[in-house]
Chains A and B, each alone.
Chain A
Amino acid sequence: MIKIENLHASINGKEILKGLDLEVKAGEVHAIMGPNGAGKSTLAAVLAGREDYEITAGSVTFLGKDLLDLPTEDRAREGLFLAFQYPVEIPGVSNVNFLRTALNEKRAYHNQEPISAKDFMALVREKSALVELDAKLASRAVNEGFSGGEKKRNEIFQMAMLDPKLAVLDETDSGLDIDALRIVSQGVNALKSPENASIVITHYQRLLDYIIPDVVHVLYDGKIVKSGPKELALELEERGYDWIKESL
């Protein structure tokens, strides 16, 4: 699905990612954990194509293509989805209008006809039920006046609508109460299939009670320093990150 090799990235001359390697295969869920400032969100931003970051070395192959060579919108159209840590408000643009535009841009890219209004609305009903998103929120302006939990649910709703190959969830659990966490996780799990994969970036083990990862990675100082089965997350929760720092 995706293969990241020796990735180096910096912002304003400061190197954040310092030779990151990661491979995720179809059907897998990978969790990335790590202390503040390790480069977790940078990884998400770099994969999505945020231009504030400069890639100084390394390569990323996504479904056989050079990901770093594609503009942001084409990465999305190829099937990369980023669930934002801080979803952005777009006043006056309804969620459904936003998503229909996005979906049709993706379809056009793959030489498909635009989706009919009827099929689209059916899809909205189906997917909003998945994340228990109030039908009213679907027709409201994108994230405008949404609570923190609603914004995160809306991210998963959009993910469900766009049906990505690879979803990167950037601290989707931050700011969620336990009910919202359950609902968001249910949504993610329901979308899991042998054809797609996800990278779940998180601070806490809590989320991994709901979304069971195949592999847990520890990101520290811009590199993956340790990888292991899901039990690694429990160990990190118990012992913190210091023992990893010391073992380096």
Chain B
Amino acid sequence: MSNYTENELAKDLENQEYKFGFVTDIESDTVPIGLNEGVIRLISSKKNEPQWLLDYRLKAYAVWQEMTEPEWAHVRYQKPDFQGISYYSAPKQTKKYESWDDVDPEMKETMKKLGISMEEQQRLTGVAVDFVMDSVSVATSFKEKLSELGIIFCSFSDAVQEHPELVQKYMGTVIPSTDNFYAALNGAVFTDGSFCYIPKGVRCPMELSTYFRINAGGTGQFERTLVVADEGAYVSYLEGCTAPQRDENQLHAAVVELIALQDAEIKYSTVQNWYPGDKEGKGGVFNFVTKRGICENNAKISWTQVETGSAVTWKYPSCILKGDHSVGEFYSVAVTNNHQQADTGTKMVHLGKNTKSTIISKGISAGKSQNSYRGLVQIHKGAHNARNFSQCDSLLMTDECGAHTFPYIECKNPSAKIEHEATTSKIGEDQLFYCMQRGISEEKAISLIVNGYCKEVLNQLPMEFAVEAQKLLAISLEGSVG
């Protein structure tokens, strides 16, 4: 028992299986591999896009070509061959679904395996779901009910066709294509994603949810999500991700932009479970994602993420607190196992007066994995009475894993109050023994302790998602029960 956390647990963890590793047999419409202007024009024309959007793509492509892949993150990997990827893969026969009954049965089966049978969802949970398979959004439920309130929730492509003025007004305003290498790449080749607009003063009555799945081999997924909460509006948005088990590395480079206008609130929750690669570190998804939100006066953006998948994660959901009295929050659990690497955290940029931010980050490292928290708290000159509280905890499960914390603080206003707390601990033998003396098995004890450790973050998730996340943590950290 005394060596359990050291050796046996490590072994158990190595043997765990990825349960979303199935491939759905759907014919895909895939463009040839490689990236050039022609491919971008092809994607744009396939999607019947307006000229301004094609121009946006081409500009992003030009910027991207001048950029180099960032190397500052605490991760090591074989850089993707950007000419070896197909940038557009759509499940065939997906012209348009008039109703849920028209959806390809294979695809419905996929959703069932993911545990998101839409009939169930519609009936029981009242969650509106947008499902993005490979690059194309295939089904959005609850559209009508939402539209009665003036809420727009649809695929990004539909938004471009049906609400071009909104898309053009807000797209790229928080994350310009010039922002970074992957954001620029996304700007050039993004294929679909979700769009959401909540009108003034409307409180969205249900959780909005998107499930992303990479299905086809040899493809990348580049989706864009744009959420706009108009003045005084409220929305809670959920995002879940899975991918099949493949030996090759798959690239996922998404962009998520949140815009919270005056007095608005956006809660954005992610459960990321992309395929992490096998226990030798072969395969797995490269998850290079740019997520950022902007808050006007009195607005609030809250990011919650549970990251258990991906071979390499590079992700910093951030808040620009532009308006006075605006609030930014970041709650994160990142679990790494085997050879997984995660470099994740947040940026809180305080521009307005009396702005407030909270960062709670819980890293759990197992196997031979590397888990880093990287965060920036930036207080600008005009941000009087800005306040930040950061807490970064790391839990180590083995002797071979690593936990790192890179907190950056830049303060240009003396009235700011910034607090940073950090702890690193190993899963306690005393805690395990205590649980076991009460009759709790080792594995259950570990799951209890880890869930307790992450509770502050899990509590931020909507109910159904929290249950899902707890199960996911248990799967990630319990051994294969014989």
Quick check: B437 and A76 within 8 Å, CB to CB? yes
B434 interface hit (Cβ, 8 Å): yes
Asked if A101 meets B436 with Cβ closer than 8 Å, knowing A88-B430, A88-B431, the reply is: no
Stretch touching chain B among A56-64, A90-98, A183-191, A209-217: A90-98
A88 to B434, Cβ gap below 8 A? yes
Residues of A within 8 A of B163 (CB): none
Q: Are B452 and A91 neighbours in the complex by a CB distance under 8 Å?
A: yes
Q: Establish whether residues B437 and A48, one from each chain, have CB atoms under 8 Å apart when the complex forms.
A: yes
Given A91-B453, A141-B452: A162 and B438 within 8 A (CB)? yes
Nearest CB of A to B237, in Å: 26
From B2, B437, B455, A92 is in contact (CB under 8 Å) with: B455
Assuming the A-B contacts A51-B2, A92-B453, are A98 and B448 also in contact, with contact meaning beta carbons closer than 8 angstroms in the complex? yes
Q: Is the CB of A72 within 8 A of B433?
A: yes
A73 to B432, CA, bound (A): 10
One of B428, B441, B451, B456 near A93 (C-beta < 8 A):
B451
Residues of A within 8 A of B416 (CB): none
Interchain nearest-CB distance for A85 vs B (Å):
12
> In residues 410-461 of chain B, which contact A (Cβ within 8 Å)?
428, 430-431, 433-442, 444, 448-449, 451-456
Q: Is the CB of B444 within 8 A of A105?
A: yes
Interface size class of B (residues with CB under 8 A): 20 to 34
A interface size (C-beta, 8 A): 33
CB distance from A80 to the nearest CB of B (A): 8
Which of B430, B436, B456 makes the CB contact (< 8 A) with A72? B436
Contact flag A92-B440 (CB < 8 Å), given A50-B433, A72-B1, A87-B434: no
Report whether B440 and A73 are in contact in the complex, using a CB–CB cutoff of 8 Å. yes
- For the residues of B in contact with A, the DSSP-based class is helix
Which of chain B's residues have a CB closer than 8 A to the CB of A50?
Answer: 433
Residue of B nearest to A76 (CB): B439
> In the complex, A100 Cα to B437 Cα: how many Å?
14
With both beta carbons as reference points, the residue of chain A lying nearest to B438 in the complex is identified as A102
Distance in angstroms between the alpha carbons of A103 and B438 in the assembled complex: 8
* Chain A contacts with B in 66-109, Cβ cutoff 8 A: 71-73, 75-77, 81-82, 84, 87-93, 97-99, 101-103, 105-106, 109
Chain B residues contacting A89 (CB-CB under 8 Å) are: 431
State whether the Cβ of A128 lies closer than 8 Å to any Cβ in chain B.
no
Q: Which residue in B431, B440, B451 is a CB contact (below 8 Å) of A102?
A: B440
Closest B residue, CB atoms, query A103: B439
Most buried by B among A87, A89, A91, A99: A91
Interface: A52 (CB within 8 A): yes
CA distance A158 to B438 in the complex (A): 9
- Residues on A with beta carbons closer than 8 Å to the beta carbon of B451: 92-93
- Convert B316-344 into 0s and 1s, putting 1 for each residue whose CB lies closer than 8 angstroms to a CB of A: 00000000000000000000000000000
Q: Are A92 and B433 in contact (CB under 8 A)?
A: no
The residues of B that contact A76 with a CB separation of less than 8 Å are: 436-439
Contacts of B452 in A (CB 8 A): 90-93, 141
Q: Point out the residues of chain A lying under 8 angstroms from B431, CB to CB.
A: 88-90
A137: shortest Cβ distance to chain B, in Å? 16
In the complex, the answer to whether A52 meets B2 with C-beta atoms within 8 Å is yes
B428, closest chain A residue (CB): A88
Q: How far is the CA of A76 from the CA of B432 in the complex (A)?
A: 14
User: Which of A51, A98, A141 is the one whose CB lies under 8 Å from B438?
Assistant: A98
Contact A102–B439 (Cβ < 8 Å)? yes
Nearest-Cβ distance from residue B438 to partner chain A, whole angstroms: 4
- Decide if B2 touches A84 in the complex (CB within 8 Å): no
On whether the beta carbons of A105 and B448 are closer than 8 Å, the reply is no
Q: Is the CB of A93 within 8 A of B433?
A: no
Residues on A with C-beta less than 8 A from B444 are 101, 105
Specify the chain A residue showing the minimal Cβ separation from B1. Answer: A51
A84 to B455 CA separation, bound complex (whole angstroms) = 25
Chain A residues whose C-beta falls within 8 Å of the C-beta of B1 in the assembled complex: 49, 51, 71-72
Give A residues with C-beta under 8 Å from B.
48-52, 71-73, 75-77, 81-82, 84, 87-93, 97-99, 101-103, 105-106, 109, 141, 158, 162
New A-B pairs, 18, CB < 8 Å, besides A71-B1, A84-B434, A102-B438: A49-B1, A49-B437, A72-B433, A73-B442, A76-B437, A76-B438, A81-B437, A90-B434, A91-B453, A91-B455, A92-B453, A93-B449, A93-B452, A98-B448, A101-B448, A102-B440, A105-B439, A141-B452
